[in-house]
Amino acid sequence: MSFEEKRIATALRFGIDANQIPRHIAIIMDGNGRWAEERGLPRFHGHSKGAQMVEEVALHCVSCGVECVTLYSFSLQNWKRPKEEIEFLMGLYALYLEGMRETLMNNNVRLVHLGQRQRLPEEVLNALDGTIEMTSKNSGMALCLALNYGSRAEIVDAVRVIAEKCKNGKLTEDQIDQQCISDHLNTSELCDPDLLVRTSGELRLSNFLLWQLSYAEFYVTDTYWPDFDKAALDKAILAFAERSRRFGDVTDNKPVC
């Protein structure tokens, strides 16, 4: 089924219009550690459980006709966490990136990496590169992992590239506009998110997609990420469908993804 056919089927199930299904959902997956601690478990258990939910949520997005899902997996600021926790997370990422390949291929999903490569262990880079290469020709949903990512660093990197192009005569000052900046971000081949979901009740962006989320609708839930299942995602989509998106205008207007 095409994206449009899936959105129509999902809209019928929800009793809404197909245009009210977000095409790009960005998710800040928060609360893994607290989920574990409230159960008297080490934080590692929360991260493991959270990794399991990634597949469930991603596949549900595929079935709903969502064209892109971006998951905030590990920020540049997360390097401040305890060494043992970071080592566990990196090992988990390597295992997950290799273990998800069959599922991605079976569901025509393309993996995309957002973020820097510096500091990522070799095992993670090898697993990441291998999965990206294997799924590169898939034409279905894009699953974007914001791994070792920070939005301010992304924007700074884009500005440096633009400045270098101007210095070399490849760009002129009057060619630098909003589209130019967008074209030099990690997300240059993606449409901007329609919906941002943040779990665990925190009310902040945490340096995530600051440029790209300019007109996204925000949905915050107290549910911790390890408990954020298909039903929870459906609630977020239905909440999105109730919003009136005007993008600074006085009439409803939906951008083309």
Give me the active site residues, please. 30, 78
What is the sign of the dihedral through the CA atoms of 77, 146, 196 and 59? Answer: negative
Cβ atoms of 29 and 93 within 8 Å: the answer is no
Report the 10 Å Cβ neighbour count for 241: 18
How deeply is 177 buried, as exposed, middle or buried, from its count of CB atoms within 10 A (0-12, 13-18, 19+)? exposed
**Which helix (H) or strand (E) covers residue 93, if one does?**
helix 83-99
Torsion of CA 22, 6, 189, 144, to 10 degrees: 80
What tokens appear for 169 in the block?
């005569």
Q: How close are the terminal C-alpha atoms of the chain, in Å?
A: 18
Cα separations (Å) of 155 from 130, 145, 151, 178, 182?
27, 17, 6, 12, 9
